[in-house]
Structure 1
């Protein structure tokens, strides 16, 4: 049994001992565009990549920095290497949290976000929770929190889309943010 996964770009990736240079945005975009939100328990296919894009757009609408927008786009990137677990299960597996956190830090570091502040991380988490609420409301007709969180965007793209178009939009958005970031 090997300790690596083979990524879309044919890299032997060791999720428990990640090498920053082995992290490729193409692998992340491809994988997340094929992974469904809510462990597949929604009325139609809606990918983690599409969720990440909506988080990025919500952050932009709130006037958050390019760093936070990029953080929102990449906040679930570790899932492309280790998958995800439902919140009730994840809560009971502290070792998974440790692995996920370590891997996410390496991913953030790969793309220049290794120094996100606590405030920036809270902004990313708040946007993520906001999208979680509105995704469940739109796709499952269910209010996951008692009170609807404030949102900035008037419209979210929660429609079922072809994974290839989502993958391409993810890459385009990433490249745009990296270009803006390097120009600052």
Structure 2
């Protein structure tokens, strides 16, 4: 048996030896729209794709570049091929972290973001952490950070949504950002 997964678009994808040509935005959007954020520990179904869309909107609201907005949309794309682990577990599995990092970099290259600067990556990370805080505050009544991070958007949409509409919105956001490049 080979070490591959079969993607939504019927591609045999080898997560330990990923090929750039096998990375498809349709597979990423579909998978992330069906994956729960926070390992499912929230008050209702809330997908990684919804999180990514909120990150993209926050980046746009902050006036960040189209590159950073696209980076925010795609920052968890590796999870569509290797799933995700909670932060405490991930920190203790260096091999998983290497696999995730390699795959995420390849995804960024595939979609024209292989040259993200350290500052751009920091902006993406900051937006991701901001959303993490407000997601837990809204859906679990729990403060991740002692001091709430600054946010630019007045309101976030953490409503439970069907995966099809989220998948379509993710693809539309991706296509819009790619056309602006």
TM-score range relative to shorter protein: over 0.9
Counterparts in 2 of 1:15-54, with a 5 A limit?
A: 15-54=15-54
| Residues in 2 aligned to 1:61 and 1:132: alpha-carbon distance in whole angstroms | 17
Unaligned runs of 5+ in 1: none
Q: Which structure 1 residue ranges, 4+ long, deviate > 2 Å from structure 2?
A: none
Corresponding residue of 1:171 = 171
Corresponding residue of 1:85 = 85
| Residues in 2 aligned to 1:101 and 1:80: alpha-carbon distance in whole angstroms | 13
TM-score (norm 2): 0.99
| Residues in 2 aligned to 1:138 and 1:173: alpha-carbon distance in whole angstroms | 24
SS of 1:157 mapped into structure 2: coil
Q: How many equivalent residue pairs? A: 181
Corresponding residue of 2:124 = 124
CA deviations over 1:24-59 (Å, ceiling 9, x no partner): 000000000000001001010000000000000000
SS of 1:124 mapped into structure 2: helix
SS of 1:150 mapped into structure 2: coil
RMSD between superposed Cα atoms in Å:
0.4
Unaligned runs of 5+ in 2: none
